[in-house]
Amino acid sequence: MTLPNDPLPLIRERALWMRRRAFRMVYEAQLGHPGGDFSAIDILATLYVGVLRHDPANPADPARDRFIMSKGHATGALYTALAAAGFYPEDWLDTYMQPRSLLNGHPNRNYLPGVETNTGPLGHGLPVATGIAIAGQIDRAPFRTFVLTGDGELQEGSNWEAAMTAGHRGLASLTLIVDRNRLQQGAGTEETNGLDPLDDKFRAFGWHVEQVDGHDHAALLRTLGAPVGARTKPLCVIADTVKGKGVSFMEHKAAWHHGVPNADQFDQAMKELA
Amino acid sequence: MTMAHPAPTPAGLFDCREAWARTLEDLAEADPRIVAVVNDSVGSSKLGGFQKRFPERLVNVGIAEQTMVAVGAGLANGGKVPFVSAAGCFLTARALEQIKADVAYSNVNVKLVGQSSGVAYGELGPTHHSIEDLAWLRPLTNLAVLVPSDPWETAEALRWAAGHDGPVYIRVSRMPVPELGVPQRRFAMGKAEVVRPGSDLAIIACGTAVHLAVAAAERLAAEGVAARVINMATVSPLDLDAVMGAASTGAIVTVEEANIHGGLGSAVAEVTARRRPVPIEMVGFPGFLPTGSVEWLFQTFGLSPEGIATAARRALLRKAAP
């Protein structure tokens, strides 16, 4: 597939559509994780519109760029991104969480094209992405592997095993994006089990680190879309985000981790997301 | 897929890891997609030869089992056929959620090889015993669980796994065993092998225990008892026909180098309890084990010809007077 010359207008449009559609899914199912959906949606819109080289008609293409949604609970973000990219029809989203729906509360690659690995338990995406990047390294293949983790998720030790391995092997084709909204399910990350200084941690593990505004499409596109070039280390992009971004009463609120809207809140959100 | 194979020459005892290492090198020679993934376990997995021949295809992640299994899943995504090889105790316990989510539930083409399975580490104790693996892995959908009994079967199981597009767990024993010496053998995943005919009762065994079951059947034969010995090398999916055939004898003994809670015996009981209840005696380990050598542990917990024969006599008494 070819990427658009100026993807920014389409990224903006896509992100807005994803927020509205994801919130409707959560409202109708009365289930989901909308706070984390909204902190990640600008990152996913940027990746799927402007960065990833993939062909939705051939989701198993060995040469494809890979994306792994390690924070698998943010299905509102992932499922809308895949539908909009053309991996499956949009009306599949209507079945979200229904009995026997292909759209489970966490993604299943055996049901949904475009899903690389089944996530849900935290700390699984980066280690699997590391293995994909090693396959590419062995074959000297040019594809890239992107993985998005939450920030609280980095409390899982498996991430740091993989971070060591990726740094040790110089997996330059691997990009980790951290959705740094500073809130986990119950409280702030720093009061729960602090991550700062996160950039220094990754540098110490042998990574190249960039920090961006995770809702600034141009900055995300610049950082994520930059070719690997002469870089010899894996890339960690710490994306500063806002949980619940885009809806006034949801922003910065841990309660919206898996909070679901009532009718009034849904109407209010749709007015704000216009 | 089944492969005809000449009967082995029964000569001496073999460490099944030798068969594993030799077979993997042969498979890797023929299929460039095959890679090995280890946790600093090149030596204990006997992969020195593989490393020498295919240095780029040996991925050593260090002492990091979660990443080892996940990297296997990632390598499969990247088109490789990974054999993830580590001591069974650490592979299955430390990385169980990766086995569940990244491998079995994701249903990817990863081969998990549990080395030095069972109580092979003897005196090193329960942390190093891998006797819970069957209970942990048997319920995982998509994952074939194989417990080969000798070098020939180890090699055949590996060949089958390499050709099968899907997740597999194979136990490899380091306890010296003879070749089973069954003529005209064929390995078929999911199909049990009747090693010895008999209709008074059936002894269902896997792995190292199959040899002991045969010896037990010989003792029982001297007492006029014809015991069928079934080699259940595939613990999941279980060969239901073989289990029902065993149940038709009216009494079953199961034998495994594993914890009896959730292992082969439990698998057999799940089937017979629902379809044809018969007395079952389970020979295996009851839980965390005291300090002792492999031989001492086997003897003490009835994994011996006499221990199994004793269990068979109990089963026959229950059959006669239910």
Are B102 and A130 an interchain contact pair (Cβ–Cβ within 8 Å)?
Answer: no
How many of the other CB atoms lie within 10 Å of CB of B124? Answer: 13
Quick one: average pLDDT of B113-128? 96
| pLDDT, chain B, mean | 95
Q: Nearest CA to A42 among A74, A4, A5? A: A74
Answer yes or no: are the C-beta atoms of B77 and A66 closer than 8 Å: yes
Answer yes or no: are the C-beta atoms of B153 and B178 closer than 8 Å: no
Which chain A residues contact residue B98 at CB under 8 A?
124, 127, 158
Q: What is the pLDDT of residues B206-246, one digit of tens each?
A: 999 999 999 999 999 999 999 999 999 999 999 999 999 99
Q: What is the pLDDT of residues B16-61, one digit of tens each?
A: 999 999 999 999 999 999 999 999 999 989 999 999 999 999 999 9
Q: How many residues does chain A have?
A: 274
Smallest Cβ distance to A162: which of B67, B77, B101?
B67
Band of the pLDDT at B6, cuts 50, 70, 90?
Answer: very low
Band of the pLDDT at B3, cuts 50, 70, 90?
Answer: very low
Give the gap in angstroms from C-alpha A270 to the nearest C-alpha of chain B: 35
Are A132 and B72 an interchain contact pair (Cβ–Cβ within 8 Å)?
Answer: no
Domains of chain B: residue spans and CATH = 13-171 (3.40.50.970), 190-320 (3.40.50.920)
Q: What is the pLDDT of residue B11?
A: 54
From first to last of its 274 residues, chain A has per-residue pLDDT tens of 567 788 999 999 999 999 999 999 999 999 999 999 999 999 999 999 999 999 999 999 999 999 999 999 999 999 999 999 999 999 999 999 999 999 999 999 999 999 999 999 999 999 999 999 999 999 999 999 999 999 999 999 999 999 999 999 999 999 999 999 999 998 999 999 999 999 999 999 999 999 999 999 999 999 999 999 999 999 999 999 999 999 999 999 999 999 999 999 999 999 999 9
Q: What is the pLDDT of residue B12?
A: 78
Q: What is the pLDDT of residue B9?
A: 42
Q: Is the pLDDT of residue B10 over 70?
A: no
CA-nearest residue to A111 within chain B is B106
Smallest Cβ distance to A117: which of B56, B73, B97?
B73
- Give the separation between CA B138 and CA B146, rounded to whole angstroms: 10
The CATH label, of 2.40.160.20, 3.40.50.970, 3.30.70.920, 3.40.50.2300, for the domain at A8-272 is 3.40.50.970
ipTM > 0.85 (yes/no)? yes
| Helical H segments across chain A, by residue range | 8-29, 34-46, 75-85, 125-139, 157-169, 189-193, 198-204, 217-225, 263-272
Answer yes or no: are the C-beta atoms of B234 and B191 closer than 8 Å: yes
DSSP calls for B29-83: HH-TTEEEEESS-TTTTT-HHHHHH-GGGEEE--S-HHHHHHHHHHHHHTT-EEE
- Give the separation between CA A140 and CA B90, rounded to whole angstroms: 31
Structure-token pair, residue B238: 């279980």
Q: What is the pLDDT of residue A166?
A: 98
Task: Report the percentage of chain B scoring pLDDT > 70.
Answer: 96
Give the gap in angstroms from C-alpha A102 to the nearest C-alpha of chain B: 14
Quick one: average pLDDT of B269-280? 98
The full set of domain ranges for chain A reads: 8-272
- Give the separation between CA A38 and CA A35, rounded to whole angstroms: 5
Q: What is the pLDDT of residues B149-206, one digit of tens each?
A: 999 999 999 999 999 999 999 999 998 999 998 888 999 999 999 999 999 999 999 9
Backbone angles phi, psi at A240, to 5 degrees: -75, 120
Smallest Cβ distance to B74: which of A108, A130, A164?
A130
Give the gap in angstroms from C-alpha A125 to the nearest C-alpha of chain B: 8
Q: What is the pLDDT of residue B183?
A: 85
CA B237, B241, B247 angle in degrees (round to 5)? Answer: 110
Q: In this structure, what is the dihedral angle of CA atoms B197, B199, B201, B207, given to the nearest 10 degrees?
A: 20
Q: Is the pLDDT of residue B4 over 50?
A: no
- Give the separation between CA A119 and CA A107, rounded to whole angstroms: 6
Are A118 and B102 an interchain contact pair (Cβ–Cβ within 8 Å)?
Answer: yes
Smallest Cβ distance to A118: which of B72, B79, B106?
B106
